[in-house]
Every structure is written in structure tokens, then in C-alpha cells.
Amino acid sequence: MKGKFLILFALAVVSAGLLAGCASEEEEQIKAAFVYVSPIGDAGWTYSHDLGRQYIEKVYGVKTAYAENVAEGGDDERVIRQFAEQGYDVIFTTSFGFMDATITVAKDFPDTIFEHCSGYKTAENVGTYFGRMYQARYLSGIVAGAMTKTNKIGYVAAVPIPEVIRGINAFALGVKKVNPDAKIYVVWTGTWYDPAKEKDAAISLIDEGCDVIAQHQDSPAAQQAAEERGVYSIGYHSDMSKFAPNAHLTAAIWNWSVIYSYIIEQVIQRTWKSEQIWWGIDKGVVGLAQFNDAVPEDVRKMVEEEKQKYLNGEVPEQYPFVGPIYDQQGKLVKAEGKVMTDEELLSMSFFVDNVVGEIPASSE
């Protein structure tokens, strides 16, 4: 806790120094700011971004600052503007809801570089970046499909937006690949971070006979529920095995440092251009956490083979979203051999045929 005080104190001193106009002394050092939507926490979305921040600080000697728990559509514009005014060279805004605020502030600071995570609006000085998490979800689905005995797999889902739906479908297609009889039961919590509720949701699924539990939220509560009830689980965001050493089979994880390094190198070399980055497992942005000892060799091999398909270009980046894909009503969504486009992936609003559950009505 003392460390926290020191950091705050240091930040105060630094910002005071900036206000006093002493910034010119360190002109050459690149400064990067991060705007986070939630507290950094221990395992979730913002935590994974912060690992990336720490990485570029260590490896590139970039000076970084961050603001956490910034409300979307509330404080976001003010916080982003403040970082821009303080002369940060590049500002990363790491939540979809920061999109408009990022674009607005970017107009007023044409010399500052802005990078928005997971959005679709760009500008001369605004780039976007994201990872193809569904690829890792697909691989983790293979593990779940191979490990289930009841052929019922539970999925504790957060909020019905395309990203979450895409993750569920990719996971379900992974399950289907190895176990066509298994079904994925989805329970929506409507939360990103309410451990008690997420645990209840997981327990509800376990009570109905699900013996592998996957999740999308930031808290490891669903993993804990699986551990307590003696079933398996698949983590998300980062390796969550510490919360469920026996249950946790693997996790679909982020490795943002890959993208942050790429962007920072360009900023340092003054070659940065606005881009829309959407990288996958071949670049290492997404991947799987270490396997639990319970995962047998043949399953690991199967996962590795599928992973290799991405690495050697045997399958398109959109894989596993390659036809034939059927929705829950049995309607053919994508014909044999056809590949879903990125646009279709980004606006996904249906479940594939081995998912049980409904997508709550959205604002459409």
C-alpha cells in the first residue's frame, strides 16, 4: 500500500512539473497514456491491457501513465483531453465506449496519436486495434468438448454484444469439432463484474448437469464455482488457474504487448500511420493459457494441430467461421466453404446450432 502512495505522489510531482513547463528536459522520451474503463483488478480485461502497458514501459523505456475506472460517455472525454493537453505522444483508449470521445478529442489535437481498442471509427491521427479472440475461444472449445462427460457445457455470458456472441459461437464450433453431441448452455448475467452473481449463474449451470464452465466476465467467480463443485472450467482474459487450480483446464487469453510494441515502435521511429489492426493467434495477440494436468495428450495435440492451421495459413483468419454454419433454427447461415466476412463477424447476432439459450433482445 505504501507503494501506491509513492506512485500517487510521484504522479502528482510529475504533473506539477509538467504544469510548470519543465517538460522540455525530457523531450526525447516517448510518453504513452492509457485510459481504462474499469479498475485494473486481478484477471480481467483492463488487467490484460495493463500487462501490455508495463511491457512497453520496461522494453522500450516509454514513460506511461494511466487513468482507470473511467466512465464511458461520462468522464472519458475530459480524461482523454487532459492526457492530450499534458503532451502525451500516444493515447490508448481501451474500451469500445470510448470511441466517440477519442474521435472528438483527436480533432482538437492533430499532432497527438490516438489508438482506440475494439472500435471502427478512425481518423488521420486515430488508429484502431483489436485481437481475434474468437480464434483462442475456438481452441478452448475443443478442450471443453473433449473433456465433458455429460455433453453439457455451461457458458456464463456477460452482455449481449457481438463480441460476446462471437466468442460463444467460436467456442461452440470448437466443441462441435470434437464432440458433435455436446450442447453449450448460455446464461446471461448482464454484468461485467459482479462476482456473486456470476458465481450463482455458474452454479445454476452446474446444477443442471454442466460439467465444464466457460465465462466472459472479468471476475474469476465462475472458475471458483467450478472448483467448489468439482467440475472443469475454461478461463478468459488471463490465466485464472490460481483461483481454480483443479477446475481450470486452460483459458483464452490476451497478450496485448504484441500490439502495443508494434505501435510504440512506429511512434518512436516517427513512422506511425493510422491503421485498423485486428490480429490473431498467428501474431500471438490471443492464445491459450497453460493446460491443466487433467488435459490428456491427445487433446493437447488436437488443439496444437488446429492452432498450426492458423500459423501456416492453412485456414483464413476468420476460421472457424467457415461454412457450413447453421443457426439455432437450423437455417444455413453460411454455405459450405464460404467464409464469413469481418463485417459479419463484427455484427454477429445469432447463435450457432449447438448453443442452447437465447440472445436477449437488443436495441435493434
Partner 1 sequence: MVDPNFIASLLASSIRAGTPLLYATLGEIITERSGVLNLGLEGIMITGAFTGFAISLATGNPWLGVLCGGIAGMLLALVHAFFSITLKANQSITGLMLVLLGLGITGFLGRNYIGEVAYYLDLIKIPVLSDLPYLGEVLFSHDPLAYLAVILAALLWFILFKTRYGLEIIAAGEKPEAADSMGVDVDRVRYISTLFGGFLVGIGGAYLSLAYAKLWTEGMTAGRGWISLALVIFSGWMPQRAIFGAYLFGGLDVLSFKLQAIGVGISYHFMKMLPYVVTILVLLVSVIRKRAAFGAPTALGTPYVRGKKE
Per CB under 8 A, the list member of 205, 222, 286, 303 interacting with partner 1 is: 205
Per CB under 8 A, the list member of 31, 116, 132, 199 interacting with partner 1 is: 199
Per CB under 8 A, the list member of 31, 34, 36, 41 interacting with partner 1 is: 41
Per CB under 8 A, the list member of 188, 254, 256, 319 interacting with partner 1 is: 188
CA distance linking residue 86 with residue 84, whole number of Å? 5
Measured over all CA atoms, what is the biggest interatomic distance in the chain, rounded to whole angstroms? Answer: 67
15 touches partner 1 (CB under 8 A): no
Contact window for partner 1 (CB under 8 A) among 26-34, 259-267, 304-312, 354-362:
354-362
Interaction pattern, residues 239-268, with partner 1; x per rule: CB under 8 A: ---xx-------------------------
Neighbours of 118 (CB within 10 A): 19
Q: Which of residues 120-179 bind partner 1 (CB under 8 A)?
A: 154
Residues with Cβ within 8 Å of residue 46, at least 6 apart in sequence: 36, 37, 38, 39, 40, 68, 94, 218
Cα angle at 77 between 72 and 79, to 5 degrees? 95
Nearest to partner 1 of 43, 302 (CB atom): 43
**Cell numbers linked to 2:** 505504501
Nearest to partner 1 of 119, 154 (CB atom): 154
Nearest to partner 1 of 126, 172 (CB atom): 172
Distances from the Cα of 126 to the Cα of 63, 71, 102, 253, angstroms: 20, 20, 8, 26
Q: How many residues bind partner 1 (CB under 8 A)?
A: 40
Neighbours of 262 (CB within 10 A): 16
Residues with Cβ within 8 Å of residue 251, at least 6 apart in sequence: 140, 234, 235, 236, 237, 238, 239, 240, 241, 288, 289
Give start and end residues of each alpha helix (H) in the chain.
Answer: 2-19, 45-60, 76-85, 99-108, 133-147, 162-178, 195-207, 221-229, 257-268, 297-311, 342-346
200 touches partner 1 (CB under 8 A): yes
Alpha-carbon dihedral angle through residues 321, 322, 325, 327, given to the nearest 10 degrees? 20
87 torsion bin: left (phi>0), alpha (psi -120 to 50), beta (else): left
Question: Cell numbers 475443443 correspond to what residue?
Answer: 142
Per CB under 8 A, the list member of 81, 177, 197, 309 interacting with partner 1 is: 197
Nearest to partner 1 of 31, 152 (CB atom): 152
The alpha carbons of the chain give a radius of gyration, in whole angstroms, of 21
Nearest to partner 1 of 135, 217 (CB atom): 217
For the bound state, the minimum distance from the C-beta of residue 258 to partner 1, rounded and expressed in Å, comes to 24
232 touches partner 1 (CB under 8 A): no
4 touches partner 1 (CB under 8 A): yes
**Cell numbers linked to 334:** 453460411
181 touches partner 1 (CB under 8 A): no
189 touches partner 1 (CB under 8 A): yes
191 touches partner 1 (CB under 8 A): yes
Q: Which of residues 64-123 bind partner 1 (CB under 8 A)?
A: 69
Q: Which residues of this chain interact with partner 1, rule CB under 8 A? A: 1, 4, 39, 41-43, 69, 154, 185-191, 193-197, 199-201, 203-205, 207-208, 210, 219-221, 224, 242-243, 356-358, 360-361
